[in-house]
Amino acid sequence: MLMIMDDVVRALMSPEAHEEDVGNIRMMQTALSYIFLTGKYVYKMKKPINLGFLDFTTLEKRKYFCEEELRLNRRLCKDMYLGVVPINKSNGKIKIGGKGRTVEYAVKMKEIDQKYIMTELLKKNKVGKDLINRIAKILTDFHSKTKTNEEISKYGSLQVIRGNWSENFEQTADFIGKTITENQFEDIKFKINGFIEENNPLFKKRIEDGKIKECHGDVHSGNIFVHGDNIYIFDAIEFNKRFRNSDVAAEVAFLGMDLDFHERKDLSDHFIGKYVEYSGDEEMLKLLGFYKSYRAFVRGKINSFQFGDPRMDEKGKDMSQELARRYFELSQNYVKEFNY
C-alpha cells in the first residue's frame, strides 16, 4: 500500500499527472494528508494510516472520507470545495481523472494564497476586532443552524467526554519525556478528571439544552482564510464523529485557545465575549477553560504524532516537537485555573 502511495505522490509532483496546465507544484504534508498546490487548485490526498481515532487504510475508506470532507466543508465555504476526483493508473502512468484503474482519491479545492491564512495575518498584526466580530457572528449563525439530534447529543455524554480524554492520555503516554513532561501529563490528568466529576450536572444540562451539535470540529487560525470580503473556515473534521459532534463551547474554546497560543489573549477574550453576546450562551463560560485545555492537549498530541512520523523530514520533526511542547504547556496552564 505504501509503495502505491509513494508512486502516486511522486506522480502528482509532475505536471503531466494533472488535468489542467500547471507550473510549479508544491507539496505539503500534515499528519493525515498529502496536499498538492498547483497555483489554481489544491488536491488533498489522505495517507493510508490508522491512528486509532481514524482509519484511512483502504481505498474505499479514503473515498468515503473524501466525500464526507466535501459535504461538511461546503457548509461554511461552499465555493472553495470543488469535488472529489479519482486518481487513475493506466500503462504505468498515473493521472488525476485519467484512464484505467482508480488507485487513489483526492479532494479538489480552489487554491487561496497562503498569505491570506489567518495564522499569517496574526504574525503581521493584521487581525483586529472587526474581523474577530465577523468570525464570531459566522460561528454563532452556523451553530444556530447546524443539526442536532438524539444521536449527535450522545457525543456530549460523560462517557464520551471521559473516553476522549482517556484516549488522549493513552496516545500521548509514549511521548512523555519527548514532547510532554511527566509532571504535565500527571497534573493535567488529575485536574481534568476532577473537573469532570465536579461538573457532571453541567455536562448533562448542556445535552438537555441542545448545545451538542454537528460542529466544524477544527476551528483555529490555520483553518481560516481571509480573502477580500470572504472568510473561509475550512478543513472541518470528517474522519471521526466524536471530534466533530460536540458542545458548541468546545468549538468556541478552540479558536479562543488558538488566539491565546499566538499570544493574542485580547483577541481571544473579545471573540468569546462577542460569541456569548450574539448567542446568549453565558453558561458556556463555565466550560471554556476545560475545553481550551482539551483543544491544546489535542494539538500537542497531533504534533507529537508528526514528530514521531518516520516519513517526516528532520526539520519538520523538530518543528513539530517544539509546537507539541508549547501546546502541552498551555494545556497545563488552563487546568491550573480550575477551582475545585
Pair 123, 97 in one domain:
no
Look at residues 247, 265, 248 and name the one whose alpha carbon lies nearest to residue 256: 265
Average pLDDT, the chain: 94
Give pLDDT, residue 2.
54
Pair 210, 275 in one domain:
yes
Question: How far is 43 from 54, CA to CA, in rounded Å?
Answer: 20
Q: Are 202 and 287 in contact (CB under 8 A)?
A: yes
Pair 300, 168 in one domain:
yes
Per-residue pLDDT tens digits for 252-287: 999 999 999 999 999 999 999 999 999 999 999 999
Per-residue pLDDT tens digits for 279-291: 999 999 999 999 9
In this predicted structure, the answer to whether residue 340 has a pLDDT above a threshold of 70 is: no
In this predicted structure, the answer to whether residue 83 has a pLDDT above a threshold of 80 is: yes
Give pLDDT, residue 120.
97
Give pLDDT, residue 3.
57
Query: How many angstroms from the chain centroid is the CA of residue 307?
Result: 17
Pair 63, 140 in one domain:
no
pTM more than 0.85: yes
Residue type, 31: A
Q: Which of the listed residues 66, 87, 111 is the one where a domain comes to its end? A: 111
Pair 78, 135 in one domain:
no
Q: Are 109 and 79 in contact (CB under 8 A)?
A: no
Per-residue pLDDT tens digits for 5-28: 889 999 999 999 998 888 889 999
Give pLDDT, residue 339.
75
- Asked if residue 340 is part of any domain, the answer here is no
- Region 301-323 average pLDDT: 88
- Region 37-48 average pLDDT: 95
Select the more confidently predicted residue: 52 or 334: 334
Q: Which of the listed residues 94, 111, 128 is the one where a domain comes to its end? A: 111
State the pLDDT confidence band at 55, using cuts at 50, 70 and 90: very high
Question: For 34-172, where are the alpha helices, taking DSSP H only?
Answer: 59-73, 118-123, 129-145, 150-153, 158-172
Pair 183, 129 in one domain:
yes
Q: Which of the listed residues 81, 111, 141 is the one where a domain comes to its end? A: 111
Per-residue pLDDT tens digits for 172-214: 999 999 999 999 999 999 999 999 999 999 999 999 999 999 9
State the pLDDT confidence band at 29, using cuts at 50, 70 and 90: confident
In this predicted structure, the answer to whether residue 314 has a pLDDT above a threshold of 90 is: no
- Asked if residue 41 is part of any domain, the answer here is yes
Full domain range(s) for residue 6: 2-111
Give pLDDT, residue 93.
92
Pair 88, 151 in one domain:
no
| CATH at 277 | 3.90.1200.10
Map 309-339 to HEC letters.
CCCCCHHHHHHHHHHHHHHHHHHHHHHCCCC
Give pLDDT, residue 259.
98
State the pLDDT confidence band at 309, using cuts at 50, 70 and 90: confident
Evaluated on CA atoms 98, 104, 110, 111, the torsion sign reads negative
- Region 32-51 average pLDDT: 94
Look at residues 275, 153, 269, 304 and name the one whose alpha carbon lies nearest to residue 214: 153
Pair 131, 86 in one domain:
no
Pair 176, 300 in one domain:
yes
In this predicted structure, the answer to whether residue 237 has a pLDDT above a threshold of 70 is: yes
Give pLDDT, residue 22.
87
Per-residue pLDDT tens digits for 106-150: 999 999 999 999 999 999 999 999 999 999 999 999 999 999 999
Cell numbers standing for residue 293: 485545555
- Asked if residue 175 is part of any domain, the answer here is yes
Please calculate the CA angle 257-258-261 and round it to the nearest 5 degrees.
Answer: 85
* % the chain with pLDDT above 70: 99
Pair 131, 20 in one domain:
no
